[in-house]
Copies of this chain bind each other. A is one copy, B any other.
Amino acid sequence: MDNETIIEAVLFASGDPVALEKLAEIIEQDKKTTRGILANMQYKFEHSARGIMLRELDGSWQFCTKPELDPYISKLAAVRRKQGLTPAAYETLSIIAYNQPVTRAYIEQIRGVNSDSVLMTLMERNLIREAGRDDAPGRPKLYETTEEFLRVFGFSSLKDLPPLEMNEIPEVIENMPVD
């Protein structure tokens, strides 16, 4: 049985993202070979008249429809659209994405404003989660982004974040007193 055929069936049936390890186990190949097969499939789906495409999400793989077909899918039924975030939420999410895991104090230092309620909102939306505690005095909570964050913003992994030209931001920031 062809490996691409098997992967297509498995990912279709799953609906949810399937871990690379699991796919490798199913097609009885090593992880590297499996990743190669997936990359090849991804390219083929992308560059052919297919309605669906293959996306990687933090080491797991999933099918989704191509964005340009959204108008047709919308005709199928009322597609429930999630409400966008507030500017404060995007701002906070940006800071967490690039500095994770990060404390609330650090976020507030950059934003210059209390960020308690916006952190709550991001947690409720499952875009961030707590990630243990910092070693600093008071052992403040740390925050990091979730897989949902990658999904919503279309990143395969955190490595996909566009580089912030941080060279313009001198190290003063790093030495900034926290609170």
Q: Which residue of B lies closest to A156 (CB)?
A: B30
A50-84: CB near B (< 8 Å → 1, else 0) gives 11100000000001011011001101100000000
**Contact check: which of B9, B25, B63, B69 meets A6 at CB < 8 Å?**
B69
Are the C-beta atoms of B73 and A10 separated by less than 8 Å?
yes
B1 in contact with A76 (CB, 8 Å)? no
- A49 contacts across to B, CB distance below 8 A: 2, 4-5
Residues of B within 8 A of A50 (CB): 5, 8
List chain A positions with a Cβ less than 8 A from chain B: 1-2, 4-10, 12-15, 18, 22, 25-27, 49-52, 63, 65-66, 68-69, 72-73, 75-76
